[in-house]
Amino acid sequence: MSQAWKKNIRKVVPYVPGEQPKRKVIKLNTNENPYPPSEKVTLSLEQFNSDCLKLYPDPDCLSLRQVLAEYYGFSTENIFVGVGSDDVLSVAFMTFFNSDKPILFPDITYSFYSVWADLYRIPYRKIPVDNDFRIKKEDYYCDNGGIVFANPNAPTAICESVDFVEDIVKKNPGAVVIVDEAYIDFGGTSALGLVNRYDNLLVVQTFSKSRSMAGMRIGYAIGNAELIKAMNDVKFSINSYTLNQSSLYAGGEAVKDDEYFRSTVKKIVDTRERVRKSLEKLGFCCTESCTNFLFATHATKPAGEIFEALKEKDIFVRYFNLPRIDNYLRITIGTDGEMDMLIEALKTIV
């Protein structure tokens, strides 16, 4: 039988997310927050009236956009929300990267960027970071079809300054620059302050890390109203109803509990710095981290072996068998207790 239809199938190499093991392990492999969301979120879900589920959710996601607009000092017209920042970034790629010129992103960065570019047939060029894994801004001062980079970058954990981001945005008035700030709350300074001055800048953030809500899937982009309208036109051409009723409801409550948000972030940052010192005593070297993870390499023991040995002990970290970073581990910051168990395990392994 002819299977000629096969030639019309879109062939993609998908992004591979970190493992989500079914049994209980010490899970330090996907940069989730080890602490639960705010009690306001829990309470709002307890009080959630499921009767509203018979109706479609608000396609404009207005209640959540209003809370975010107020929190960050923007208008709702500046805010786009989606099902996690992966959804937001995917819509942004489709909306803004339609040039024949290649888009630019670092060679070491969030590996989803090249997957979306391939999926949407966007030409791209990976720009090598330097030997210390730092993005070189001058490399982005050239003709291009758009720019995307994570700041802090992942998995390197390194954060660049707002001035650095501004230089790239300023030098590229003819292209949209997307700054993926998934980890910005753990020590970086956001580029949100530039949004009112540069109409080609889109800042993307998420509830998955600092707000402990990876399971709810909420992300957002902030940019000038024209960029946001263009994203909405694309979104409404794919799926009008993206965020479900409970996400809209609980997401807003999470933002309102700023005190809890700040205390959780502080706990993670304190743990991170304590763990860094312990790792260094064991012969590891870590990049400077502004995130909820450490990017670590050991002086003598190969990262792949440490990864396997930890897994044997039911401690999951992330290992990327990729050029330039195949001797590094990305270790999510868990609770103090979890990190103590990691350090104890590493003492026997290295």
180 contacts ligand PMP (rule: CB under 6 A): yes
The piece of 79-87, 94-102, 132-140, 316-324 that touches ligand PMP (CB under 6 A) is 79-87
86 contacts ligand PMP (rule: CB under 6 A): yes
Site track 94-113 with ligand PMP (rule: CB under 6 A), x = hit: ----------------x---
85 contacts ligand PMP (rule: CB under 6 A): yes
Closest separation in Å from C-beta 196 to ligand PMP: 24
Closest separation in Å from C-beta 350 to ligand PMP: 26
Q: Give 163's contacts (C-beta < 8 A, 6+ positions apart).
A: none
185 contacts ligand PMP (rule: CB under 6 A): no
- Pair of tokens at residue 227: 């960029």
Three-class DSSP category at 220? strand
Site track 26-65 with ligand PMP (rule: CB under 6 A), x = hit: ----------------------------------------
Closest separation in Å from C-beta 158 to ligand PMP: 12
CA dist 157 and 18 (Å) reads 17
The piece of 62-70, 82-90, 229-237, 302-310 that touches ligand PMP (CB under 6 A) is 82-90
In this chain, which of 41, 129, 147, 154 binds ligand PMP, going by CB under 6 A? 154
Q: Decide whether 85 or 264 has the Cβ nearer to ligand PMP.
A: 85
Closest separation in Å from C-beta 129 to ligand PMP: 14
In this chain, which of 214, 234, 341, 343 binds ligand PMP, going by CB under 6 A? 214
334 burial type by CB count under 10 A (0-12 exposed, 13-18 middle, 19+ buried): buried
150 contacts ligand PMP (rule: CB under 6 A): yes
CA dist 211 and 191 (Å) reads 19
Closest CA to 216 of 253, 258, 246: 246
The amino acid present at 139, given as its one-letter code, is D
How long, in residues, is the chain? 350
Q: How many chain residues bind ligand PMP (CB under 6 A)?
A: 12
Closest CA to 171 of 191, 144, 202: 144
The amino acid present at 259, given as its one-letter code, is E
Three-class DSSP category at 6? helix
Closest separation in Å from C-beta 30 to ligand PMP: 7
Instruction: Spell out a b/e string for 316-330, using b for 16 or more CB atoms within 10 Å of the CB, else e.
Output: bbbbbeeeebeebbb
Contact 331, 291 (CB under 8 A): no
Closest separation in Å from C-beta 228 to ligand PMP: 18
Closest separation in Å from C-beta 88 to ligand PMP: 8
Cα 150 to Cα 112, 178, 230, distances in angstroms = 11, 8, 22
Q: Give the residues lining the site for ligand PMP (CB under 6 A).
A: 84-86, 110, 150, 154, 180, 182, 206, 208, 214, 219
